């Protein structure tokens, strides 16, 4: 199957939007950005064997490749609009491509995102995605902006994806709910939009809570306290791994793609209501302090020293 058949297959399955004047099929896409909004752009690449296990299903790879990018738009409180796809394949495999597109395009359609371009190359399996969205300038959710006294919030639950990887590595049976969190992360787009005007600063947890929170704190010039007892934990994780075993996963493991954000305490009720309206669980896990650094407190108030403070990863796709 030559490249043009690949592109034709992708093109015939891509849907369009009214703001796409020219999509797949020319030297570049022609797109209309709404007046009064900023363009928001992010890109993340997933490499086989590094960012997903080699035996991951093609549809899961397709889902995840777009999800991790939409997660970055969510973390800016942006409305997703378009994406491009750079697909490097060791061979032209129609079944693989169809499965991949099933996962990729289902998520794209769910978020009204049009695939407007890309390229296909021969090489080791690698998927590069660039996403584009919109946000009014005053409503963008940046890393800078956290203020001492802010409540520290987190959507969803933490540690499920890292638990799936850890259990898998130990050849322990893995609850499919945990595996689904690793392979099919939910980008918190609706939550990001709901937080417009409410949150001071935010980031998505892709590299681990301590690592990603660290970026917010560094950008904002503040510190934080986290209460271990308040870390939101799924029932599946609680059933699989005891507290002391899961804390390092929840603090240091990546791939959760939850939103971590800070907001003034006066916004507490508004945030609870806004996220309930988009069916997104959310919880306060600590607060922002003026003094730099992160203090993690156990339930008895003693300081907890993480055994794994956000693994240093040359490998993670990182959107800076």
Which residues, numbered 50-109, are part of the site for a second copy (CB under 8 A)? 50-51, 72-73, 75-76, 78, 82, 84, 86, 88, 92
Residues 73/39, Cβ–Cβ less than 8 Å: no
Residue of 119, 149, 235, 276 that binds a second copy (CB under 8 A) = 119
With respect to a second copy, which residue has the nearer C-beta, 128 or 175?
A: 128
Site size with a second copy, rule: CB under 8 A: 76
CA angle, 231 then 317 then 228, to 5°: 10
Phi, psi angle pair for 267, to nearest 5°? -90, 5
Q: Is 11 in the site for a second copy (CB under 8 A)?
A: yes
CB of 13 to a second copy, least distance (A): 13
Count of alpha carbons within 13 Å of 273, Cβ hemisphere only?
6
DSSP string, 165-220: HHHHHTT----HHHHHHHHS----HHHHHHTTTT-SEEEE-SS-HHHHHHHHHHHH
| Burial bucket for residue 201 (CB in 10 Å: 0-12, 13-18, 19+) | buried
Residues 220-259 that bind a second copy (CB under 8 A): none
Q: Is 13 in the site for a second copy (CB under 8 A)?
A: no
CB of 278 to a second copy, least distance (A): 19
CB of 308 to a second copy, least distance (A): 15
CB of 293 to a second copy, least distance (A): 18
With respect to a second copy, which residue has the nearer C-beta, 29 or 163?
A: 29
Residues 197/179, Cβ–Cβ less than 8 Å: no
Residues 171-210 that bind a second copy (CB under 8 A): 203-204
End-to-end CA distance of the chain: 36
Residues 291-320 that bind a second copy (CB under 8 A): 312-320
């Amino acid at each position: 199957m030559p490249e043009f058949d690949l592109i034709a297959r992708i093109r015939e399955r891509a849907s369009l939007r009214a703001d796409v004047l020219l999509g797949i099929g020319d030297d570049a896409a022609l797109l209309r950005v709404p007046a009064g909004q900023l363009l928001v752009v992010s890109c993340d690449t997933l490499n086989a064997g590094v960012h997903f296990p080699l035996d991951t299903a093609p549809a899961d790879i397709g889902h995840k490749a777009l999800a991790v990018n939409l997660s970055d738009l969510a973390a800016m409180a942006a409305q997703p609009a378009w994406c491009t796809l750079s697909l490097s394949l060791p061979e032209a495999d129609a079944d693989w491509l169809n499965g991949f597109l099933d996962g990729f395009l289902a998520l794209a359609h769910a978020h009204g995102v049009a695939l407007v371009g890309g390229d296909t190359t021969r090489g080791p399996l690698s998927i590069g995605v660039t996403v584009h969205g919109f946000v009014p300038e005053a409503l963008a959710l940046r890393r800078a902006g956290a203020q001492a006294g802010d409540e520290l919030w987190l959507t969803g639950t933490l540690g499920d994806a890292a638990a799936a990887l850890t259990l898998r590595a130990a050849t322990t049976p893995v609850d499919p709910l945990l595996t689904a969190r690793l392979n099919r992360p939910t980008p918190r787009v609706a939550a990001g939009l709901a937080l417009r005007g409410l949150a001071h600063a935010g980031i998505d947890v892709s590299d681990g809570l301590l690592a990603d929170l660290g970026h917010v704190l560094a950008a904002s010039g503040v510190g934080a306290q986290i209460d271990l007892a308040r870390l939101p934990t799924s029932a599946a994780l609680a059933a699989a791994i005891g507290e002391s075993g899961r804390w390092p996963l929840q603090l240091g493991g990546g791939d959760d793609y939850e939103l971590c954000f800070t907001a003034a305490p006066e916004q507490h009720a508004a945030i609870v209501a806004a996220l309930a309206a988009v069916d997104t669980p959310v919880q306060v896990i600590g607060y922002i302090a003026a003094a730099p650094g992160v203090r993690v407190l156990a339930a008895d108030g003693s300081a907890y020293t993480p055994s794994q403070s956000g693994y240093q990863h040359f490998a993670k796709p990182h959107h800076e």
